[in-house]
Amino acid sequence: MSGKLSFKGFCIILAALFTAILFIAIAFLFFVPSPQEIWKSMTSPEMIFSLKLSVITAAVSSAIVMLLGIPIGYALSRFSFFGKSIVKSVIDLPMAFPELVLGLSLLLFFGNTYVSRSFEIIGLKIVFTKLGIVVAQIFTALPYSTRIIYSAFEGVNRRYELVSRSLGYGEFETFTKITLPLAKKGLFASTIIAFARCMGAFGAVLILAGGSYMNTETLPIALYLNMSYGNLGMAITSGIVLIIVSFIAIAIFEKLEGLNAVKS
C-alpha cells in the first residue's frame, strides 16, 4: 500500500518537476534580456523581415498541406487500393526521420540537374530560394497533418455517407456536404498543427533553402544565425516572436472554430 502510494507520489513529483523546469526555462526567454533590448531587436529590419517571411511561407505551406492532406487522409481512411500500406508508411516516415536528413534528401532530389531543370522550365527554382522554404515546410508538416486528418475521417461513421448517397447525392457532394462538416474539428486541429510545424520548421528549411541572411531567413533560422554570431538579444527575440505568433495563430483558429460551431 505505502509502496504504491510512494510510486504514485514519485510519478506526480516527476511530472510537476518537469513542468516547472519547462515553465521556468520559457520564462527565462522573456526575462533574461532587458525590455529595451527586446524592443530594439523586435523593430530591427532583420526581425521584421524574418517575421513577415515566416508568417507568409507558413500560411502558404499550411494551406497547401491541408489541400494535399485532406484527399490523402480521406483515401487512406475510406478506400482500399493497391499499395495502401506503403503509402501509409511513407507518410509516417518523415516523423521518425530527422529533419536534417529530410532536408538533405530534398536537396539531393531538387538539386539533381534533371529535376531542377524540369522545374526551371515551368519557372520554378527551389534550391536556396523562398520557394524552397515552402517546399521544405510542406514536407515537414504534411505527415503530421495527414495523420490527424486521417483519424478525423476515421471518426466519421461511414454510414452517414451511405445514407447521403442513398438520398441521391454523389460521392463528391456527399464528401463536401456530410464528411467535411462532420470532420471539422479534426481538420481545424490539423490546420493548427500544420501552421505550427511550418512556423517551427528548421532543419529541412536550412538545408533546402540555405538560411541566407535577409533572404531565406525565417524566424527559426534567424534564431540560429544570431545565436552563432553571438547575438543573444536577437536570438532570444526570434524565439519570443515565434512563440507569440504560434499562440496568436492558435487563438485565431479557436475563435474561428468557436464561431463556426455557433453558426451551425
Partner 1 sequence: MLLRVENLSLEFGEFKVESASFEVERGDYLIIIGPTGSGKTILLETIAGFHTPKQGRIYMGNEDITSLPPEKRGISMVYQDYMLFPNMNVYNNIAYGLRKKINNDGEVRKEVKHIAKVLDIKHLLYRNPTTLSGGEQQRVAIARALVVKPKILLMDEPFSSLDVKTREKMRKLVKDVMKEYETTVIQITHDFEDVFVLANKVVIMKNGKILQIGTPDDIFRKPTNEFIANFVSTNVLRCRAVGKKGNLSVLNCNGVTLYTPDKSHGSVIVSIRPEEIIVSPYKIFSSARNILKGKIIDVIRRGNLVWLTVDAGIKLRTVITPNSMELLGIEKNKDVYLIFKASCVKVIG
For residue 52, the minimal CB distance to partner 1 (Å) is 37
Q: Tell me whether residue 29 or residue 180 sits nearer to partner 1 (CB atom).
A: 180
Contact 55, 222 (CB under 8 A): no
**Residues 225-264 close enough to bind partner 1 by CB under 8 A:** 264
Q: Please tell me whether residue 113 binds partner 1 under the rule CB under 8 A.
A: no
Q: Where are the alpha helices (DSSP H) in the chain?
A: 2-31, 35-42, 45-78, 84-96, 99-111, 113-121, 130-154, 158-166, 171-174, 180-182, 184-200, 203-209, 219-228, 232-263
Contacting range for partner 1; rule: CB under 8 A; set: 22-30, 48-56, 123-131, 159-167: 159-167
Q: Please tell me whether residue 166 binds partner 1 under the rule CB under 8 A.
A: yes
Measured CA to CA, the distance from residue 119 to residue 126 in angstroms comes to 8
Q: Please tell me whether residue 32 binds partner 1 under the rule CB under 8 A.
A: no
Q: Please tell me whether residue 117 binds partner 1 under the rule CB under 8 A.
A: no
Report phi then psi at 230, rounded to 5: 80, 15
Q: Tell me whether residue 120 or residue 171 sits nearer to partner 1 (CB atom).
A: 171
Selected from 178, 194, 201, 206, the binder of partner 1 by CB under 8 A is 178
Q: Tell me whether residue 79 or residue 114 sits nearer to partner 1 (CB atom).
A: 79
Measured CA to CA, the distance from residue 223 to residue 201 in angstroms comes to 12
Q: Please tell me whether residue 1 binds partner 1 under the rule CB under 8 A.
A: no
Measured CA to CA, the distance from residue 86 to residue 89 in angstroms comes to 5
Measured CA to CA, the distance from residue 189 to residue 132 in angstroms comes to 25
| CB crowding 173-209: b at 16 or more within 10 Å, else e | ebbeebbbebbbebbbbbbbbbbbbbbbbbbbbbbbb
Q: Please tell me whether residue 176 binds partner 1 under the rule CB under 8 A.
A: no
Selected from 165, 210, 215, 246, the binder of partner 1 by CB under 8 A is 165
Show the cell assigned to 131. 520557394
Binding string, residues 39-78; x marks residues near partner 1 by CB under 8 A: ----------------------------------------
Q: Please tell me whether residue 159 binds partner 1 under the rule CB under 8 A.
A: yes
Contact residues: partner 1, CB under 8 A: 157, 159-160, 162-171, 178, 181-182, 264
